[in-house]
Amino acid sequence: MSTYVIGDIQGCHGAFLELLDALEFDPARDKAWITGDLVNRGEDSLAVLRWGMQHDHCVVAVLGNHDLHLLAVAEGYVPPHRRDTLDMILGAPDRDQLLAWLRHRPMLHREGPWMMVHAGLPPEWSADQARLHAGELEAALRGPDWRHFLKHMYGNEPRRWNPNLTGQDRLRYIANVLTRCRFLYPDGSLEFQHKLGLDTAPPELTPWFDFPGRRAREARILFGHWSTLGLVLREDVIALDSGCLWGGALTAFRLEDQQCFQVRCQARRAPHP
């Protein structure tokens, strides 16, 4: 049995199937962990979701910002963005089952020394605290008031963790750090403007995984979200969004021997700024 951690698919169904073929992936034997953003911007998000739901027994997929966005769009709380490619899902006869399956995915997965999130963690959280706070958001998404969270999900505030946060502010912060963060200000607060590589950011900004005193260093963190960062293989963090959507590659990382596998992708969109 092998466990493959796969970077952001974003609806690139063809590349995803090509990668599975290259891995000789066997659903009866192997596991697929997916770093989030199963959907949006690629050519067939509907097929990716259907594959995930059909292979629920061997798939662990954490939620990314595009996945949460799909849930909010489906409920009518926000309009689709101009570049969204969600119509096939929204018009599918099995949309309700697919969206319910997606809504019940975890925000964080931890197994042995490994922890998988979509984007990152704040410096204040230990690995145990990260699991606890991710569980708060999972409970909100799976509970009777899940629509209330989605309706009030959007926004950049609060930007800094405070254990005294409550209600929607607390859930919004947890969602933002787990699905949107890249850089942090010197005080540890979230910065959302800069989305390119490390050499493009102002000197006062620090990538979340290099922030001094980061408490979750006991876990080896697997994440996606940051396509302009590209593939990063370090002892403490493994970044796996290698920009398939933009003509880069779709990457899988095998936990058992820490080997990487890639398939090249045809750009579905012009390179983003």
The CATH code of the domain that includes 230 is 3.60.21.10
3-state SS, residue 8: coil
Task: Answer yes or no: is 161 within a domain.
Answer: no
Q: Are strands 206-207 and 220-223 parallel, antiparallel or unpaired?
A: unpaired
Strand duo 31-34 + 206-207: pairing: unpaired
Question: What is the DSSP-derived secondary structure letter of residue 104?
Answer: T
- Looking at residues 247-252, what average pLDDT do you find? 96
The stretch 222-230 carries a mean pLDDT of: 96
Residue 140 lies in a domain: yes
Distances (CA, A) of 187 to 105, 115, 161, 193: 31, 24, 10, 16
The amino acid occupying position 151 is K
Amino acid at 125: W
- 166 in a domain, yes or no? no
C-alpha–C-alpha distance, residues 260 and 4, integer Å: 9
- What is the C-alpha separation between 121 and 261, in angstroms, rounded? 26
Kindly report, residue by residue over 54-85, the tens digit of the pLDDT: 999 999 999 999 999 999 999 999 999 999 99
Name the pLDDT band for 266 (thresholds 50, 70, 90).
confident
Instruction: Report whether pLDDT(273) > 70.
Output: no
Least confident residue range of 9-13, 27-31, 196-200, 257-261: 196-200
> 268: pLDDT confidence band, cut at 50, 70 and 90?
low
Is 272 within a domain? no
> Residue 126 domain-assigned?
yes
- Is residue 101 one of the residues assigned to a domain? yes
Range of the domain at 98: 3-152+216-264
Contact assessment for residue 49 and residue 21, using Cβ atoms and an 8 Å cutoff: no
Q: Quick check: is 93 in a domain?
A: yes
What is the greatest pairwise CA distance in the chain?
Answer: 50
Region 164-171: mean pLDDT is 98
Q: Over range 154-164, report the average pLDDT.
A: 98
Report the residue count for the chain. Answer: 273
In a domain, 207, yes or no: no
Q: Is the pLDDT of residue 272 over 70?
A: no
pTM attached to this predicted model: 0.96
| Mean pLDDT, rounded, for 138-154 | 98
**What is the average pLDDT across 81-108?**
97
The mean pLDDT value for 219-241 works out to: 97
Return the SS3 of 175: helix
- E strands along 101-179, which residues? 109-111, 114-116
Per-residue pLDDT averaged across 31-44, rounded? 97
Query: What are 28's two structure tokens?
Result: 């009866």
Task: State the total domains in the chain.
Answer: 1
Which helix (H) or strand (E) segment holds residue 221: the answer is strand 220-223
In this prediction, residue 270 carries a pLDDT of 43
Give residue 269's pLDDT. Answer: 52
Average pLDDT of the chain, as a whole number: 96
Asked if residue 207 has a cis previous peptide bond (ω within 30° of 0), the answer is no
Q: Six-digit token pair at 39?
A: 């959907």
